[in-house]
Copies of this chain bind each other. A is one copy, B any other.
Amino acid sequence: MADPVFDQSSSNREASRGYAWWFSGNTFAQAADGDGRPPRQRTIIQHLVSHPGRLTIMYFIVLVVAATTMLLIPPSTPEGETTTFSTAMFTAVSALSTCGISIVNSTTHWTTFGQAVLLVSVQLGGIGVMTFASLITLAINHHMKSTQRLLTASELGTSKLSEIRGVLTVVIGTTMFIESVTFVALFPGLLKVNEGDWRKSLWESLFFAVMSYNNAGFTPDTAGLHVNSWGVGLPIMLSAFLGTLGFPVILNLLKCARGHVPPKRWSLHTKITLSVTFIIVAMSLTWFLLVEWDNPFLFKDADFNTRMRYAMVAAVMPRSSGFDLSWVPQVNEPTKVFMSVIMFIGGGSTSTAGGIRVTTFAVILLICKASFTGHKDINTFHHRIHTNVAMTAVSITSTCLLLVLVSSLSLMLVSGASLTNALFDSCSAFGLGGYTVGVAREDNPAALAILAATMVVGRLGPMTIAYSISRPRSLEAVRYPTEPIVVG
């Protein structure tokens, strides 16, 4: 099927402007009730599916409980190691939110079974996020159609489940495809690094393939081997980069590639996401080349080639993927702050990346541009950004900034960490970056709890905020007069 969710039909246009008080409401039931018929008996599945918001929360709660349990049982931990409840819970949340902050060494603390639990958790977490974002958009489509009386309640009931199957097919299909390509691309390089050990190489290829597209930074190796070889590093980097773009962009690009559509006619969302992503990666690369080039802790005795590889990894990865933790605590203090900002901005909407999302950031910049150039409309690429979208972007940014601030201050209070480190770990948890500079520690359950909460909000927060507040605004019962106030 052609992507049903992100097409440019007019109902969809309405939808993504005002998608989802459904997040908490009973979407389909309301639509059916609107026809004045008595509500029918519904199955539990139908009941859950009509509340994509509740379904998302249910899904993550069930999976966190399951993954924590699996990590706590003996097969997950090798003999001689013990896993505390807070470690298991934190790791489960970290994997399911595809954040990937590790407080134990993933290679030595977990058995292959334990690593498989992480792998499955990350995969289910990633697919979950992409599916639910799509489902919610779908729910709005239904509402739009039903309010236009194009569908009867019974049609709603049947088309609903089939469309959901369609979305799931597209999400899982794309994921599997990209992960398979990454797997195949990684194998030769890993086989070389592992000196012909094909069993180990197969497992590591699978692990890296899943971790990279889902942007979770768990690694099955301790040496950061992917940084030391282009053959391993490049497929991981590309896959992680695709993962940060988000589902609508990938689908739009695929569709445009099939139809030989020129870049000029890509969707506005694609254009904005790609250009901001490009700018951020270029800025990161420049920063690392300028500020970290002579860092002796980072590049001791390294040649030009190795330095470039490190700088490229450092530019692409922190946005969301969080691979190779080893070098992070050794960067300069200003670089930590810079990385925090990059992680806070995060990746593309409805992707496995986190943060406020690049589109949100872009809208804030566009508001400034419009103001400074004296324009009333917020224009970009010959299109106007709707005021509701602008207000939503401001709300998401302000709320998330407040969240990161509160989280950082709390971490400083409970762990005595410096602001740089507390901010870094907060942004890493919120933006699902996956790096840590040591504030997340096994022996500090309070800090772990704060970071786990930040991760959950980082995973569901901006999405929830966007969905719940970008509902089509009602006309005001009373419209108040304006009165000028002086700002600035």
Chain A residues with a Cβ under 8 A of chain B:
8, 12-13, 15-17, 21, 246, 248, 267-269, 272, 291, 333-334, 336-338, 341, 349-350, 356-357, 359-360, 363-365, 367-368, 370-372, 374-377, 379, 382-396, 398-399, 405, 408-409, 412-413, 418-420, 423, 462-463, 465-471, 473-476, 479-488
Contact = CB atoms under 8 A, between A and B. Distances in A.
A185 to B, nearest CB: 29
Contact of A487 (B363, B375, B376, B484): B363
A367 B395 contact: yes
A484 B357 CA distance: 15
Given A368-B398, A374-B471, A384-B479, A389 B466 contact: no
26 contacts: A13-B484, A16-B485, A248-B486, A269-B485, A291-B413, A349-B485, A349-B486, A350-B486, A359-B485, A359-B487, A360-B488, A363-B485, A364-B394, A367-B398, A368-B394, A368-B399, A374-B471, A376-B474, A379-B476, A383-B483, A384-B480, A384-B481, A396-B487, A419-B419, A419-B423, A462-B488
Nearest to A372: B469
Contacts of A337: 405, 408-409, 412, 419
Contacts of A466: 486-488
B374 A487 contact: no
A237 to B, nearest CB: 25
5 closest pairs, A vs B, by CB? A466-B488, A16-B484, A376-B473, A462-B488, A371-B395
A278 B440 CA distance: 36
Nearest to A483: B268
Nearest to A393: B487
Given A367-B391, A376-B473, A485 B272 contact: yes
Given A367-B395, A398-B368, A418-B418, A384 B482 contact: yes
A16 B486 CA distance: 7
A363 B488 CA distance: 11
Contact of A418 (B21, B420, B484): B420
Contacts of A420: 418-420
B482 A374 contact: no
A480 B356 contact: no
A394 B395 contact: no
Contacts of A469: 371-372, 374
Given A16-B486, A385-B482, 13 more contacts: A17-B482, A246-B486, A268-B484, A269-B485, A291-B413, A349-B487, A357-B488, A359-B485, A367-B395, A374-B471, A377-B476, A377-B479, A379-B480
Contacts of A382: 480
Contacts of A389: 484-485, 487
Given A12-B484, A479-B384, A487-B396, A391 B377 contact: no
A333 B418 CA distance: 7
Contacts of A482: 13, 17, 383-386
